Structure 1
């Protein structure tokens, strides 16, 4: 596996690969790679000739009071995870490489899609995501890009961006990878104290119970939201940001009775650590 730190080096690699007729899979990450990222890299390796993994803590998707400076950075460990999973390139640029000018060009998806869920309390987040992913899509010239369903709103935003801007790339959205007790894999899990780590399991547990209720016939969106909210509140360490339900695709409003595919999503803080999780409910 090769490590590239500059845009020019990555572009040279990509030009050579494309001239040789190679297909490229891209796995965009912010580093601190774990089993969830490894599953994306493995999927990319199975479906493409070459795999590029980006390892870049993107400053433009962090708000002023968020954890950009504290976000885990461990490039040496990331190299081992990426190589073991089948990556051919790890692209780890400095912020000055990705954002060389003070006055920037932004890519922004507008409308309700970026105003609900995490967009409500993180107003600049998805503009940063859309901008950096557009750069990575162009730099890699990837045929496919791989994302985890844990960041469900992000995947919906990127779907819209790719569609609206006619970007010739296929988005591959892969299932959530979880710990043995159900907690969704996340780079932010390392921030949790032992008590907070134990408490955080309430997220996957409450969503699983909601899925059971849905399978048993519950079709009232508010009742499902209320059920999850009530269960999370039984955990004293939890601080709910949101529990919300939207239609897929597009995060549309859903009225009772539910008659379409929907996303039931949560964001909850444990101490100073904000975690997200979700479940997709399918109508047979």
Structure 2
């Protein structure tokens, strides 16, 4: 199978722009998938959709420092370059095999720039008041994930604006798991008149329901079993909505009750808030267009539907049994479900 040759790997902007100019003249349809590497099946689903809908696809692999706060896990973020290239080559080969000889869609390039290429003037700052050229989307970027991680969406919007300027894709692909990010990217594209279409692909999940994430590799076997409570809680609330329930408080309580029942029962002190394993950051019911909070006292508008999202902190295991468990660090996981509109 092999991997990609050097002609497909772009480390700087000018060579990629020369290729892109030629593609404009040839009338190519271009899709783009932005990643930070450590690719999993969720990323592959985005690339697969891009290959199906475009003649040429670009994938970026860049761990963006401006979306990590000083206390977060930038240095520990998994680096899996060779494995990532093999996975991309495999998905391209599988697409070619399933599409037949008349399909010419392919991964045209992997953009893997240095930090200096992406931030050419000043070193990137993770300070809220740090110097630099940033893109901010408010109030959307300040709530939920933005409240817990104050610089996160500034970093996401900034790097995506840069990447979109470089690739100039007809379509860009994001996963529903990062639902607030997807809503924010749509808003950014609209407000800054960026000529691309944002495609949001349903969340890829493990067989037990856990949303696929590059951070799952940090969990280990025991925590991995505990973490599935996140998706179970969201699914329980979605089932209630699908059965006709619209009251905000009842919907949210259905999710938090699953956390209490399945997580608190395992805790030594019986209190989720002081748990040494699973702690809720938020469980939020939001408008699907702007992520505005739907209050507990309100009802969901069934013609609009809603988004139920949650974030949890998974603490190191009680009583570590090996070195890997001794080395465990706090892991933050997010997930969501869509409450589809109905009459």
Please tell me the TM-score bracket, short chain as reference: over 0.9
Which has the higher relative contact order, 1 or 2, with Cα contacts under 8 A spaced 6 or more apart? 1
Aligned length: 283
1:149 alignment partner in structure 2:
176
Q: Distance in 2 between matches of 1:275 and 1:34?
A: 16
RMSD: 1.2
Match of 1:38 among 44, 64, 67: 44
2:247 alignment partner in structure 1:
220
The question of whether the paired residues in 1 share the 8 Å contact of 2:237 and 2:254 is answered with: yes
1:258 alignment partner in structure 2:
300
Match of 2:135 among 96, 107, 110: 107
Question: What are the superposed Cα offsets for residues 157-176 of structure 1, whole Å, 9 maximum, x if unpaired?
Answer: 11111111110000000000
Question: What are the superposed Cα offsets for residues 115-135 of structure 1, whole Å, 9 maximum, x if unpaired?
Answer: 221100111110110011011
1:25 alignment partner in structure 2:
31
1:173 alignment partner in structure 2:
200
Q: Distance in 2 between matches of 1:37 and 1:196?
A: 23
With structure 1 as the length reference, what TM-score do the two structures score?
0.96
Structure 1 gap ranges (5+): none
In the TM superposition, what is the alpha-carbon distance from 1:7 to its structure 2 partner? 1.6
Structure 2 gap ranges (5+): 93-106, 123-130, 268-276, 316-329
With structure 2 as the length reference, what TM-score do the two structures score?
0.80
The question of whether the paired residues in 2 share the 8 Å contact of 1:182 and 1:204 is answered with: yes
Q: Distance in 1 between matches of 2:314 and 2:222?
A: 9
In the TM superposition, what is the alpha-carbon distance from 1:230 to its structure 2 partner? 2.3
Match of 2:287 among 247, 252, 256: 247
What pairs up with 1:15-94 in 2 under 5 angstroms? 15-86=21-92, 87-94=107-114
Q: Which consecutive aligned stretches of 4+ in structure 1 deviate over 3 angstroms post-superposition?
A: none
In the TM superposition, what is the alpha-carbon distance from 1:46 to its structure 2 partner? 0.7
Using the TM superposition, name which of 57-66 and 11-20 deviates more. Answer: 11-20
What pairs up with 1:229-244 in 2 under 5 angstroms? 229-233=256-260, 234-235=262-263, 236=267, 237-244=277-284
The question of whether the paired residues in 2 share the 8 Å contact of 1:82 and 1:90 is answered with: no
Match of 1:11 among 4, 17, 29: 17
1:269 alignment partner in structure 2:
313
Find the structure with the greater CA-based Rg: 2
Q: Distance in 1 between matches of 2:16 and 2:76?
A: 27
